[in-house]
Structure 1
Amino acid sequence: MDRLPWTRFHWSIVVGLGFSWVLDGLEIQIVASAGFQKEFGLAAAEVGITATVYLIGQVIGALVFGRLSDRLGRKKLFLLTLAIYLIASGLAGLAPNYEILLVCRFIAGAGIGGEYAAINSAIDELIPAKYRGRVDIAINGTYWGGAALGTAFNFFFLNESIFAENVGWRLAFFIGPVLGILIIFLRRHIPESPRWLMTHGREEEAERTVDDIEGRVEREGGTLEKVDDSQAIELKTTGSIPFRVIARVLLKDYPKRTLVGATMMITQSFLYNAIFFTYALVLQNFYGLDSSTTQLYFFPFAIGNLVGPFVLGHFFDVWGRRNMILLTYGVSGVVLAISAVLFQADMLTATTQTIFWCVAFFFASAGASSAYLTVSEIFPLELRSQAISYFFIIGQLAGAFAPTIYGILVGDGTDRGPLTIGYFLGAAIMIVGGIVAKIFGVDAERQSLEAITKPLSLYETGTAR
C-alpha cells in the first residue's frame, strides 16, 4: 500500500472519506446562524445549548464509534456514522419543537464524532506513505470550505424575502444529507483497510483486497515497485484491545507521544475556540460592526483556514513533521502576538484585524490539521481509532472553556487590556505546543505506519506461534 503511485483510486479515497469535514463545517455554520430561533421562541442561551449538545454528541460518538472501528472495521463504521449523521440532520429539518431539535443535534454530533475516528484511521491506512501527510492535513482543512459554504447558503436560505421564516432554516438542514447521500454511494466502493483485516485473522480477504487495489492502480496507469522481502512482517490475530492495554500503551510504552498528542490537540483547540467563537463579538464591540456585517468578515477568515493546509501540507512530507509543526504553531503564535500589540494600541481596523486573523490561521489551520495526523499515525494499528477519539475528546474538553473565557475578556468593548492579555495567552499556548512537538515528536514522514509504531499483534523473534 505504501509503495503505490498516486492514481484515481486515491482520489476516490480523498473525496469519499474526506467529505465528512466539509459536512461538519457546513453543519456548524447552518446551526450557528440560528434560523430556528424565532420559530421556537428561543433565548440566546437556548440557542447556545444546541451547539453544546452537538459537541457533547461528538464526544460520545468519538468514544463509542472509535472503539467499534478498531473492533468491527473501518468500512462498517464510516458507512454507519455517515448514515447516522444524514438521518439525524434531515430529521432536524423536520423538528416540530425545540426538544426534538436537540435530540437530532445530539445524534448528528455523535455521527460526526464517529467519523473523526473512523475516517482518519482509514485514510492513513489506505494512502501511500509518501503522500499521507499532505493528504491528511488537506482533508482535515476542508472543514473550512464547508464552513464558508454554510455561510453562503445561510445568506440564501435565511433570506425572508425568498423563504418564509419557518421554511428556510429547515431546507438548510437538508443540504448536508443531500450531499452526503452521494458520498455514501462512493464509500460503498472503498475497500476495507487491509491492515485492519490482517490483524483480525482475515488474511485471505486482506490479500484479495490488496490484489484488487494493485490491479486497479495498474489499470489506471500506475507502475508497481517490487517489495523487498526484508519488509515483511508477521501478525497474529487480535480481538478487542482491553482498556488496561490501551492505558499501558499510552502511559507506559509511549508517554512522550501521548504528551505530544495531548499538547497539540489541547493547544490548537483552545486557540480555535477562543478566536472563532468570539470574532463576531470583537468586530461588533471594538470596531462597531453590526451582526449582519460581521458575517461577511467570516469569508476571508474561512478562506485563510482552508488555503493553509493545501499550501503547507506538502512540506510536512518534505521538510518533516516536527519541523513543520514547530513552524505552523510558532508562526501563528507570533502573528497573533503582533496583532495583540497593535490591537492594544488601537492601530487596527476591522479589516486589518481580520487580515491578521487570516494570516495567523493560515498557519494555525495546517498545524491543527497536523494534530489529527499526528495522533492517527504514532500509535499502534490495533487502537488507532480509539487513540484518535481519546485525543479528540481531550482537545474538545480543553477548548470548551475558551469561548467563555474570551467572551468575558471581550466584555462590552470599553477596555482592550483583558483581551490583549488573552491574545498573548493564546499566542504563548500555540508556541509551547510547537516546541513540545519539536522536542518530543516523531519523524513519521514518508514512513510506513508499521515502521513508525510496531503493531501490538506483531510476532516477535522467539514468540510461540
Structure 2
Amino acid sequence: MEKTLTRTERLDRLPYTRKHNKLLFGSGVGWALDAMDVGLISFIMAALISEWNLGRVEQSALVSVGFIGMAVGASVGGLLADRIGRRQVFALTLLVYGVATGLSALSTGLVMLIALRFIVGLGLGGELPVASTLVSEFAPKRIRGRVVVALESFWAVGWLAAAVVGYFLVPLENGWRWALALGAIPAVWSIVIRLGLPESVRFLESKGRHAEAENIVAELERTAGITPPDEPVDTEHSKAAKTTMGELFGPRFRRRTIALWLTWFGVNFSYYGAFIWIPTLLHEGGLTLVKSFEFTLLMTLAQLPGYLVAAILIEVWGRRATLVSFLGGSALSAVCFGFAPAIAEAIAPGSDSWQYGVAMLFGSLLSFFNLGAWGALYAITPEVYPTTGRASGAGAATAFGRVAAMLAPILVPIIVVAGLGVLFAVFGAMFLLAMVAAWFLPENKGKALAEY
C-alpha cells in the first residue's frame, strides 16, 4: 500500500507550476521595488550634496538611518511572520515603506527626510527576509535554491530601475523629489500581495490551520494535474520543539547562527559601503553627476548574469560552495576596483579612457560576484532553521547584517581619506570574513525543509 504523503511532502514532489510562478513574480516585484528604493538614495544623496550643501556627517546620517530602521524591521518582521503569517507581514511592510517613501518626496529639510527614511527602513527591513521565507517554503525541494536566487535576482531589476531613474530624472530640477514619489508604488502593490498570494502552508500547519493548508496544497496539485488524496495527512509539529530567539545561540543552533550572522555582516558592510557611495565617490573624483550615474548604471547590468550563474550553480555545486566561491570573487574584485587607477596608469599612463575602462571592468566583476553571492545567501538562509523559527532566525541574521549596513556609510568617509585602494581593501577583507564564515553553514541541497 502506497504511503499517504503529508502536505509538506506533497509540496516538495510538485513540478514547478504557474502558481509557483505567480508567487515568485508577486514576491519578486515587491523585492524589485525595495531595491529601487535603496538604490535611489545613493543617487539622491549625490544630488542633495549640491542642493542642500550636505557635509560628510549629514550624508552618512541620511544613509545610515535607513539601515537602523532595517535592522529593527528585520527583527520585528521575522518575529511577526512566525506568529501571524508570512503573507500578512509581507503586505504590511510593503505598505509601510511605500507610503513613507512617497511622503519623503515632500521633505522640507534634512531632519524630515531622515525621520521618514527610518520609517522606510522599518518596512524594507521586515519585507526581505519574510519574502524569501515565503517563497522558500513553497518551492519544490529539488529546485528550491534556484527559485530563491530567482527571487533575489529581482533586486538587480530594481537597482537597475533606480539607476535609470537616477540617470534620467534625478539631475533635473526637483528630480530627486519625483524619484522618491515613485516609491509610493509599493503601497499599491501591497494590496495585490494581500489579495493575490497564498499564505505559507508550512506556517498554517505549524498553527494547526490544516483546512486552509489543505485547500492551498490541493489547488497547487490540481494546477499540476495531480489528484489530491481523499484522506490528507496533517504535518505534525511538536510544541516542545518550537524554536525561540534564545535558542538561536543554544547548543543546537549556535554554530550555524554565528556563521550566518558573520556572513550577513560581511556581505552587508561591503555591498552597502561600496554601492551606496560609488556615485558620490566617482562624482568627487572628477566625473560629472550624469557621468557618474552612467558608470553606475552600466556597472549594475553585470548583476543580472551574476544571479543567473549563481542560480545554475546552486543546484549543481550546492548552496555553500556557490556562496563561498562568489564571496571569494567579490573580495578579489573589490581590491582590484580600489586599485583600478594604479592598474590603468601602469598599462597606459595618462589615458583617461583606460582609467574608465579598467574601473568599469572591475566594477562590473564586483557587481557580478557580489550579487551572485547575495542570491546564494538568501537561498541558504531560510534553510538554516526549522519552520517554527525560520522567519525569526532569518530576520535576526538580516538585522545583524543591517548593523554593518548602518556602520559602513558612516565609516566610508573616514576610511576613504587614506585612499580609494585602502577603502576597497577593507571591503575585500569583509568579503573574506563572510567567505570563511560561510564554510560553517549547513548544506541542504535537495533536502526537505526542516519541520522541527
Q: TM-score, normalised by structure 1?
A: 0.83
Shift of 1:422: 3.8
Name the structure 1 match of 2:350: none
Q: Which has the higher contact order (CA 8 A, sep 6+)?
A: 2
1:5 to 10, 15, 18: 15
Name the structure 2 match of 1:234: 236
Name the structure 2 match of 1:271: 270
SS at match of 1:142: helix
Name the structure 2 match of 1:23: 33
Name the structure 2 match of 1:437: 438
One-letter amino acid of the structure 2 residue matched with residue 387 of structure 1: G
SS at match of 1:131: helix
**CA–CA separation in structure 1 for the residues paired with 2:273 and 2:105:** 29
Name the structure 2 match of 1:318: 316
1:300 to 293, 298, 301: 298
Q: Counterparts in 2 of 1:395-406, with a 5 A limit?
A: 395-406=401-412
Would the aligned equivalents of 1:82 and 1:184 in 2 still touch at CA under 8 Å? Answer: no
SS at match of 2:197: coil
Name the structure 2 match of 1:460: none
Shift of 1:187: 4.5
Instruction: Work out whether 1:43 is the aligned partner of 2:45.
Output: no
Instruction: Work out whether 1:149 is the aligned partner of 2:140.
Output: no
Instruction: Work out whether 1:170 is the aligned partner of 2:166.
Output: no
**CA–CA separation in structure 2 for the residues paired with 1:18 and 1:147:** 13
**CA–CA separation in structure 2 for the residues paired with 1:225 and 1:301:** 48
Classify 1:200/1:58 alpha carbon distance in 2 versus 1 (closer, same or farther; 3 Å).
same
One-letter amino acid of the structure 1 residue matched with residue 438 of structure 2: A
Would the aligned equivalents of 2:142 and 2:445 in 1 still touch at CA under 8 Å? Answer: yes
Name the structure 2 match of 1:459: none
Name the structure 1 match of 2:425: 424
SS at match of 1:289: coil
One-letter amino acid of the structure 1 residue matched with residue 326 of structure 2: T
Shift of 1:396: 1.5
**CA–CA separation in structure 1 for the residues paired with 2:65 and 2:412:** 21
**CA–CA separation in structure 2 for the residues paired with 1:296 and 1:410:** 22
Greater shift in the superposed pair: 12-21 or 327-336:
327-336
Name the structure 1 match of 2:195: 188
Instruction: Work out whether 1:112 is the aligned partner of 2:124.
Output: yes
Name the structure 1 match of 2:349: none
**CA–CA separation in structure 2 for the residues paired with 1:62 and 1:157:** 31
Classify 1:224/1:318 alpha carbon distance in 2 versus 1 (closer, same or farther; 3 Å).
farther
Would the aligned equivalents of 2:320 and 2:442 in 1 still touch at CA under 8 Å? Answer: yes
SS at match of 1:280: helix
**CA–CA separation in structure 2 for the residues paired with 1:51 and 1:285:** 17
**CA–CA separation in structure 2 for the residues paired with 1:122 and 1:277:** 28
Could you list the per-position Cα deviations for residues 178-217 of structure 1 after superposition, in whole angstroms to 9, with x for gaps in the alignment?
Answer: 3652463254121111100111121222122211222233
Instruction: Work out whether 1:197 is the aligned partner of 2:204.
Output: yes
Q: TM-score, normalised by structure 2?
A: 0.85
2:385 to 379, 384, 387: 379
Name the structure 1 match of 2:416: 410
**CA–CA separation in structure 2 for the residues paired with 1:123 and 1:367:** 18
Q: Counterparts in 2 of 1:57-96, with a 5 A limit?
A: 57-95=69-107
Shift of 1:378: 0.8
Would the aligned equivalents of 2:167 and 2:293 in 1 still touch at CA under 8 Å? Answer: no
One-letter amino acid of the structure 1 residue matched with residue 264 of structure 2: M
SS at match of 2:141: coil
Would the aligned equivalents of 1:264 and 1:368 in 2 still touch at CA under 8 Å? Answer: no
1:370 to 376, 380, 388: 376
Could you list the per-position Cα deviations for residues 263-298 of structure 1 after superposition, in whole angstroms to 9, with x for gaps in the alignment?
Answer: 211111122123223323553455x32333111100
Q: What root-mean-square deviation, in Å, do the aligned CA atoms of Structure 1 and Structure 2 show?
A: 3.0
Would the aligned equivalents of 1:19 and 1:183 in 2 still touch at CA under 8 Å? Answer: no
Instruction: Work out whether 1:248 is the aligned partner of 2:247.
Output: yes
Classify 1:420/1:73 alpha carbon distance in 2 versus 1 (closer, same or farther; 3 Å).
same
Would the aligned equivalents of 1:84 and 1:107 in 2 still touch at CA under 8 Å? Answer: yes
Q: How many residues align?
A: 430
Classify 1:407/1:351 alpha carbon distance in 2 versus 1 (closer, same or farther; 3 Å).
farther
Would the aligned equivalents of 2:97 and 2:124 in 1 still touch at CA under 8 Å? Answer: yes
Would the aligned equivalents of 1:16 and 1:187 in 2 still touch at CA under 8 Å? Answer: no
Name the structure 2 match of 1:462: none
**CA–CA separation in structure 2 for the residues paired with 1:39 and 1:289:** 14
**CA–CA separation in structure 2 for the residues paired with 1:335 and 1:40:** 33
**CA–CA separation in structure 2 for the residues paired with 1:423 and 1:175:** 32
One-letter amino acid of the structure 2 residue matched with residue 2 of structure 1: D
Point out where structure 1 has 5 or more consecutive residues left out of the alignment: 456-465
